[in-house]
Chains A and B, each alone.
Chain A
């Protein structure tokens, strides 16, 4: 079982790689829409990547209002 910190770290790594952003520019409490410069369609790409990586199913209505990596990690951690 991954720890919450491991989950958060893997999300940051995955987002940095997928959207080609330097990892050191991403912080847990960043608004990922702003930091990654992504729109709603790209957010769905990120969701798909996360579901594949963590092998979970994450209904997108659970992401309503979620905009920072830490809260996102909490949602995923709850399904691991």
Chain B
């Protein structure tokens, strides 16, 4: 995040890393994209052959395209993402802003909690 990396493409992710990527978004929100290992290797090789080549990630369409100039921009990979997380990312929300949108639920919960468990 601090290095400005917004997207990571890999064959798999550790669950801590995967979940944290969605949470670190204070200004930037990260997305982890899972593609088949052989495809990841191809993309890596293509990028190494052509330093500075660009991949285009379309979150709305859930596609990774490119690298442009190697596949003539015509090659897209589809990736899966949880629909709710996708919606959060597209609306620029992170977990904190989502939570802040539920202040009333939280206040109601806290009032009930304090009443039921006053010793806490």
Chain A bound to chain B: no
